[in-house]
Structure 1
Amino acid sequence: MVAIVSTAAYLGLEARRVEVQVQLASGVPAFVVVGLADKAVGESRERVRAAIAAIGLSLPPKRITVNLSPADLPKEGSHYDLPIALGLLAAMGVVDAETLSDYLIVGELSLDGRIAGSPGVLLAAMLASGEGRALICPAVQGAEAAWAGTSVVAAPDLLSLLNHLKGEQMLSAPQPGGAEDGWSGTDLQQVKGQETAKRALEIAAAGNHNLLMVGPPGAGKSLLASCLPGILPPLDAAEALEVSMVQSVAGTLTGGRMTRVRPFRHPHHSASMAALTGGGLRVKPGEISMAHLGVLFLDELPEFQRAVLDSLRQPLETGEVSVARANAHVTFPARVQLIAAMNPCRCGHLGDPALACARAPRCAADYQAKVSGPLLDRIDLAIEMAAVSAADLVLPPPAEGSAEVAARVAAARGVQRERYAADGIRTNAEADGAVLERAAALDAPARALLAQAAEAMRLSARGFHRVLRVSRTIADLAGTDTIGRGQVAEALSYRRRAPTN
């Protein structure tokens, strides 16, 4: 007899349906799992055997073959335990196989029969909803699966699930987890001085632009970066679902709680390429994907390995990262706002006669050369920050905080949302080609200044378009439809120049 149940395989943020075919046949007793399964799936045999024994049943003395179809699709993870166990129980006649055909099943089994959580349940729920099926999943992830809008059976253990399927003890349907609103982190009122940097941060937030802050230790670079989530607009429902899907695959969506606060990721400079862009033995999203639709903050930028930094160049341009392996090609979303901070040189005190090292200014060129030109070309705004003086530190907190700046940012984002409604993009930073040409309404003096500056500053085509996008954002903050000479001049003032020897 062959029993068939459905489960899912995850490729990036895509879930594909997998048939679990279980056959009981005469012959030498054995338990074989085939279908391009990894080690975690192969080990499910022992977990399934122990879980079935825990509910008072034993496997029949037959040859048990489990085929995961399609056989050429890689199968990774422990969420195949529960569908294999239910398929085996259906083949044994313990549970009705026809009843299971209405469900898509995921979950890891413990040796005592409990059903443990596993990454990717939200993706499986979305797949089940699209196919008109219900979902069977662990009880601890029922709130997460309920966001997909499909019928969910969230079982704490194998025995209670069997009783539910037989109609003897019905499990209550889980409710979607709560949604977190509001940023409770650093407020801009905590930043004293650095008015130019605050202005650049507001422009970066309004247009979703990449920002580089260069300044001595203690100038407030990290403090300013930590303020950014507080002035960004909250995620809308569709964006929150995108972010939650990434978190589900990574296994960090706890309690099924979604959040409307944009992600803020700040990896240490010792991070490897796989940690930053994704990968590993079992391909997982990296920091740039975990920051999708949010902020990726790279402090001490030159201290990262150069190859690791250069691996960000393509994702920053395309908004997605592709991880290629011999047996799989996985794509994760990576539409992030890059905020970077660095000292001007290794000692950090370039330009200060009392503190700078003897190798200045040569040390600045060597230190900053660790960051490649093509990566710097993808940064829209770069600002030089001076050390905060004692006079600034004793001043009272500024009257304007994150709430006031966030209101202006939200208004500018609203203008951009209306402007690009038909183009499927959200912000000025994503505008390109004909869309950017249509949006960039330059008056004659602004056009002349931009052309002159592009020649004098030797801007690349990418750099030219990034200046244009920043100019459009500055005009949006000012509430003007036309980009004037002043907006172009301010955007050009933020353009990064190479250090001189």
Structure 2
Amino acid sequence: MYSKTKTCVLNGLNGYDIDVEADLSTGLQAFNIVGLPDLSIRESKERVKSAISNSGYFLPPGRITINLAPANLKKDGSQMDLAIAVSLLLAIGVIEYLPDEKTIFLGELSLDGRIITFDGALPMIISLKELGFKKFFIPQTIKDEVNIVQGIEIYPVSHLKELVDCLNGITEIKKEEIINVNLDEEVKYDIDFSDIKGQENLKRAMEISAAGGHNLLMVGPPGSGKTMIAKRLPTILPKLTFDECIECTKIYSVAGKLKNNKLITQRPFRSPHHTSSPISLVGGGKIPKPGEVSLAHNGVLFLDEFPEFSKQAIEVLRQPMEDGKVTISRVNSSITYYSNFVTVCALNPCPCGNYGSQTEKCTCSQLQIQRYLSKISGPILDRIDIQVEVEPVKYDDLSSKEVLETSFDIRKRVEKAREIQLKRYKNEKIYNNASLSARQIKKYIVLDEKLEKIIEFAFKKFKFSARSFNKILKLTRTIADLDGSEEIKEEHLLEAIRYRSLSNKYWS
């Protein structure tokens, strides 16, 4: 007795259709699963047998073989349980209706026959839709995660018996309605830029960072507002587009961090603790999962107390910060996750935090300060576009009754600058100034003779690297966009140079 059904396996964010073949033959009683299954799939035979039994059906004695094809692709994940059970029930004649080739079964089985949730449903279904599959039987609990995918039929099921009765034509499972997502509604935040007293220079730097997608580093004493303002950066970033929402939701789905199975419509903000390991930052594990750099995709990765991170943890950020993606390699395969984020780093100028203070005495030795700051290497500093020194908040600013600018007001300017960039780069595969390549910089950023002399002088004085030179040009372009000017002016360039000169004070 033979039958076949279809399911899916994930490799990173890409789903692949899998044939689940069931064969029942006479012989000594056995239940074998072949086709490069991992431990979670090898264990599924116990879940499947119990689920079938507790749903009122019985497997005949004999030899059962389940083949997962193609055999050269490693399979993992409990989502194959449902397809295995349906294939077995087809083979023994309990299910009379043979699903067509374009029907996919996804779901983990509990011992009592309930069909329960699993990680990675959205990227699986999107990938399979692109492969031409249209009909999906999924757990009832994840319908809100996948009912945003247009052009498919989704049938949410809560129990194995319910599915069997549906396939046999006894009952009917209502098709899930596909919804159109409305992203025009204003995203509500509990925090706002109007909460911040003073720090106008830092606010300006944050606005430039948001407008161009630039990485930012803050150096200042404890209590000066570095963490407070960093947490408010997402409130001035442009609203997520639908494609960006899908990208973020796919990552969180694979990571098992999707709350209430809802589409992510807010810019992610990730703030890992400084004790985080390199693997927790970039992702990994036996079955590679997304790390913090991927969970921050299309949002903000905030690294507070930056020098307190291990040297190795800091250095693994190089590739994701530069490429906008992270690749996790294993012996049999490599997996790539998105990691296009704005990095915001905050640190004290020394271990005690008072180095350079006019009011407090620094208790650190020169060697301690050097060791503390040396954790941040030149290549990492080169990848941070904006460097800002944060001063303590003045009493006059704290006690001021002045009505301060809101995040909404700042975001309007940021969105206007982003619109200029989108229009300018409509024929390129980039969306902001921070993503410009060296070739694109030459094409889109033109300096007159006077500005060329200014940047040449700064290059020699501050001993900028080639990467820093390009960062200055990108910053200049963003500052001009915020000013609504297609022409780059002297004040735009001078402001950009100022944001790149801090490393000479602390790391020269």
Same fold (TM over 0.5): yes
SS at match of 1:81: helix
Separation in 1 of the partners of 2:123 and 2:219?
Answer: 40
The Cα of 1:25 is off from its aligned counterpart by 1.4
Q: 1:270 to 1:201 in 2, by over 3 A?
A: same
Q: How far apart are the structure 2 equivalents of 1:25 and 1:321?
A: 46
Q: Which residue is 2:158 aligned to?
A: 156
Q: Distance in 1 between matches of 2:178 and 2:413?
A: 33
Shift in Å at residue 446 of structure 1? 1.7
**Structure 1 residue 92: Cα displacement:** 1.2
> Does the CA-based 8 Å contact 2:22-2:91 persist in structure 1?
yes
In the other structure, the counterpart of 1:373 is 378
Cα offsets for 1:178-211 (capped at 9, x unmatched): 6675031320111101110000000000000000
Residues 1:133 and 2:105 aligned together:
no
CA distance in 1, matches of 2:7, 2:315: 38
* Residue deviations 1:154-190 (CA, integer Å, cap 9, x gap): 1011111112222222122224576675031320111
Stretch moving more, 245-254 or 390-399: 390-399
| 1:494 match | 499
Structure-1 separation of matches of 2:115 and 2:307: 46
Q: String of CA shifts for 1:447-477, please: whole Å, max 9, x gaps.
A: 2211221222221111111111000000000
In structure 2, the partner of 1:85 is 85
What CA distance in whole angstroms lies between the structure 2 residues aligned with 1:332 and 1:500?
33
Q: Any conservation in 1 of the 2:321–2:341 contact (CA below 8 Å)? A: yes
Offset at residue 260 of structure 1 (A): 2.5
Paired position in structure 1 for 2:144: 143
Give the Cα separation in 1 of the matches to 2:389 and 2:48.
60
The residue type equivalent to 2:503 in the other structure is R
Q: How many residues align?
A: 501
The alpha-carbon deviation at position 229 of structure 1 amounts to: 0.7
Amino acid aligned to 1:64: I
Q: Which amino acid aligns with 2:355?
A: L
Query: Hey, what does 2:259 align to over in structure 1?
Result: 254
Conserved 8 A contact 2:373-2:507: no
Q: Secondary structure at the match of 1:160?
A: helix
What letter matches 2:281 in structure 1? L
The aligned amino acid for 1:205 is: A
Per the alignment, residue 73 of structure 2 pairs with: 73
In structure 1, the partner of 2:18 is 18
Name 2:332's counterpart in structure 1. Answer: 327
Return the match for 2:426 from 421, 424, 437: 421
**Residues in 2 aligned to 1:97 and 1:309: alpha-carbon distance in whole angstroms:** 56
- Aligned twin of 2:33: 33
Mapped to 2, the partners of 1:322 and 1:500 lie a distance apart of 30
Q: Which amino acid aligns with 1:16?
A: Y
Q: Which moved more, 1:405-414 or 1:62-71?
A: 62-71
The structural deviation recorded for 1:427 is 0.4
Structure 2 counterpart of 1:200 = 205
8 A Cα contact 1:192 1:398, kept in partner: no
Distance in structure 2 (CA, Å) of the matches to 1:253 and 1:299: 24
Deviation at 1:309?
Answer: 1.1
Shift of 1:100: 5.0
Give 3-state SS (helix, strand or coil) of 1:80's partner. Answer: helix
Q: Secondary structure at the match of 1:79?
A: helix
Deviation, 1:358, is 3.4
> Is residue 55 of structure 1 aligned with residue 55 of structure 2?
yes
The question of 1:448 aligning with 2:453 is answered: yes
Whole-angstrom distance in 2 between the partners of 1:231 and 1:369 = 32
1:40-76 residue CA offsets vs partner (Å, 9 max, x unmatched): 1111011001100111111110111111112121111
Q: For residue 98 of structure 1, give the secondary structure of its aligned residue in structure 2.
A: coil
Alignment of 1:87-486 (within 5 A): 87-96=87-96, 98-130=98-130, 131-149=132-150, 150-176=152-178, 181-352=186-357, 355-396=360-401, 398-486=403-491
Considering only aligned residues, what root-mean-square deviation do their CA atoms show, in Å? 1.7
- Range that drifts further, 364-373 or 251-260: 251-260
Question: What is the CA-CA distance between 1:247 and the residue it aligns to?
Answer: 1.4
- What is the CA–CA distance in structure 2 between the aligned matches of 1:136 and 1:356, rounded to whole Å? 67
Structure 1 residue ranges without an equivalent (≥5): none
Secondary structure in structure 2 of the residue aligned to 1:240: helix
Greater CA deviation, 422-431 or 398-407? 398-407
Q: Secondary structure at the match of 1:9?
A: strand
Deviations 1:363-408 (A, max 9, x none): 3322111111111110000101011122221112543111110000
Partner SS, residue 175 of structure 2: coil
- CA separation in 2, counterparts of 1:356 and 1:76? 58
Aligned partners of 2:24 and 2:91 also within 8 Å: yes
| 1:48 and 1:84 in contact (8 A); partners too | yes
Tell whether the 8 Å contact from 1:33 to 1:66 is kept in structure 2 after alignment: yes
The DSSP-based 3-state class of the residue aligned with 2:232 is helix
Are the counterparts in 1 of residues 307 and 376 from structure 2 also a CA contact under 8 Å?
yes
Cα pair 1:3 1:97 within 8 Å, conserved: no
Q: TM-score, normalised by structure 1?
A: 0.96
CA shift digits 1:311-354 (9 cap, x unpaired): 11011111110001123311101111101111111101112366
Paired residues of 1:121 and 1:145 also in contact (CA < 8 A): yes
Q: 1:9 aligns to what?
A: 9
Once the two structures are overlaid, the 10-residue window that deviates more, 401-410 or 139-148, is 139-148
3-state SS, counterpart of residue 21 of structure 1: strand
Matches of 2:182 and 2:96 in 1, distance apart? 37
Q: Distance in 2 between matches of 1:158 and 1:423?
A: 49
**Alpha-carbon separation, structure 2, partners of 1:441 and 1:168:** 71
Distance 1:248 1:475 in 2: 38
